Amino acid sequence: MGLLSVNKNRDGRCQSLELDAIPREVTSWDQEAFLRCTSSELTEVERQRVLVPERSFPQQEEILAVHWHPEHVPMDLIVGRMQKLYPNRGDQLIIPTQHNTLMSLGGFAGVEVDCYSRGFKRKVQLLLHFEEAKVREATVLRNMLAHTFKYRSSQLFEYIQTVLDPIFEGRAQRAAGKTNSDEDIVAFTRIHVAKLQQLIENNWAATPKESIKNKLVSNFFEELRALYDDRIVNKAQVFLKAIKEVVKEHFSLTYFYRASEIIEEARSLGAGIVIPHPEQFWPILLADYDVDGIEVWNPQSREYTEFLITAVQRQNRLRGRTDRPVLVFMGDDCHMGEKLKAPELRDPEKGGREVGLQPAWEDLSISKHLIVQGVNRASIIEEYRARLTS
């Protein structure tokens, strides 16, 4: 039985529907939606959404941004946005860290790398930062990143298969039970994921490979808001998010490079290395990897910031790191692709993030711990820039 009978809102979107009324074959509308999801070309409306932020921070003078993702937003638009965000900016260190792809800005290059901690049997991530001139060739590192990018992208296909293939029915039912997704929502989701699978195959040669990632699924379903009521799409997105988490739990990690291998290659090129997402990667903080810093705060990881600051200080003292101490970093983890969307359609968790915006630096409770270490945003910029350019 379908959700209900077919009805439409005043704007023409289906507010309820019969599943039998949804075409199973790929339509011209589906094709156009797919092209919108995978296109790197921005409309003028999207350009303006990037260039004109909804707010600014005139009191922030130093900009430290070493954990953020340009995605497919051009750098000139990002720079333009930052000029409006921080009209009184002075000293700055701004390095992009796209997932598994080296990108450059202002003489520096960076990347966020997925890798494998064999001792703890789990995926971890590392932020690598370079003076741009040091990685213009970097053949081995670039090949390692290309392998990692390709393997990480393969998760999309496992994601799709988990929705569609009967062999993964147990996983799908687990996700449905966790989210209270009824049979109609599951069926609605499967119809459109099947279409997406066909669209990927039909458009493979012309599709930018950076679009082949998990986010393509949620982006495609966001397009469906033009046809279906928000409550239908919202329920499907909740189910899909649960599916994605199940897939991540089962995704094999052994094909990633080991963290020690990534660190060794990066150091040979003069990299700075920072551990991000501390609350997600607790074990790596115990491994004593050769790193320059630990991210003690970002929008997803802010519960233990004061503890982490103290822990870094203690680690430096116990290990006698006076000349080259482990530094404390804060990451905005901004995903610039969110800025292309209308504000009401942005991810609630990611939509408010901005490159270089880390309010914890000014938090009175946190700054109390930073003062004890003699640390502030300006001093970290100065010290880390010196390490990268030495």
Q: Say yes or no to pLDDT of 302 above 50.
A: yes
Q: Check residue 281 and give its pLDDT.
A: 63
- Sorted by sequence, the CB contacts under 8 Å of residue 96 that are 6+ apart come out as 68, 69, 70, 75, 103, 104, 105, 109, 110
Per-residue pLDDT of 143-159, as tens digits, reads 999 999 999 899 999 99
- Average pLDDT of 251-279? 92
What is residue 28's DSSP assignment?
H
Q: Which of 13-22, 145-154, 155-164 has the lowest mean pLDDT?
A: 13-22
Task: Give the phi and the psi of residue 43 in degrees, each rounded to 5.
Answer: -75, 165
Q: Coil, strand, or helix at residue 189?
A: helix
- Which among 338, 386, 381, 360 has a CA at the least distance from the CA of 69? 338
Q: Check residue 311 and give its pLDDT.
A: 84
Q: Binning pLDDT at 50, 70 and 90, where does residue 285 land?
A: low
Task: Give the phi and the psi of residue 129 in degrees, each rounded to 5.
Answer: -130, 140
Q: Binning pLDDT at 50, 70 and 90, where does residue 6 land?
A: very low
Q: Domain residues of the chain, as ranges?
A: 7-38+153-250, 66-81+91-115+124-138+269-389
- Average pLDDT of 81-104? 97
Q: What is the mean pLDDT of the chain?
A: 91
Burial of 343 (C-beta count, 10 Å sphere; 0-12/13-18/19+): exposed
Task: Let me know: does 285 contact 318? Beta carbons within 8 Å.
Answer: no
Q: How far is CA 320 from CA 271, 315, 324, in A?
A: 22, 8, 9
| CA–CA distance, 310 with 2 (Å, rounded to integer) | 57
Tokens of 200: 């990927």
Helix ranges restricted to H, the chain: 28-38, 44-51, 75-85, 139-164, 169-179, 183-202, 215-223, 230-250, 259-268, 282-285, 305-318, 364-373, 377-389
